[in-house]
Amino acid sequence: IEPFEAESICLDILAIEPQHTAALGCLLLSLTDQFSHSAGQAMERAKALLARFPGEYERTYYAGIISERFAKRKLRDGHPGAKALAFGHLHQAMACYEKAEALAPSGNDDAVLRFNACVRMIERHGLTAPQADEQEPLLE
């Protein structure tokens, strides 16, 4: 399903059952899939959606997903400063995943797996902390 179609389906489900956790997760993922079309607007909508998740684990975990997927988008863009921006967002995601790991239900290792994926992405792309003169502000 395309991101816009998935968004529409999730919105229909949420109109009937506003706290449907699976639909909230699917909607958030569909919004992050739209980063290539309208990153700023999709980012704001995804972040606003976090408050609707029922638990702190879900809110924290999905905040990490937003940052990780935005970092991936920046790496695909390849514009000057993209690697520095991606590095910052990956570290932001990793901080969320560390917090989510402590809140995770027993047997749920999703946050650990996502954290490890971020580490590997940093290594694979040779990302390093930007120098003070090349830092771009992170989107809040």
User: How does pLDDT run across 33-66, given as a tens digit for each residue?
Assistant: 988 877 778 889 999 999 999 999 999 999 999 9
**Residue 45: exposure state from Cβ atoms within 10 A (0-12, 13-18, ≥19):** middle
| Per-residue pLDDT reduced to its tens digit, 95-129 | 999 999 999 999 999 999 999 999 999 999 999 88
pLDDT band at 17 (very low <50, low <70, confident <90, very high): very high
The phi and psi torsions of 106 (rounded to 5 degrees) equal: -55, 130
Going by C-alpha positions, the residue among 61, 83, 62 that lies closest to residue 72 is: 83
Q: Mean pLDDT in the chain? A: 91
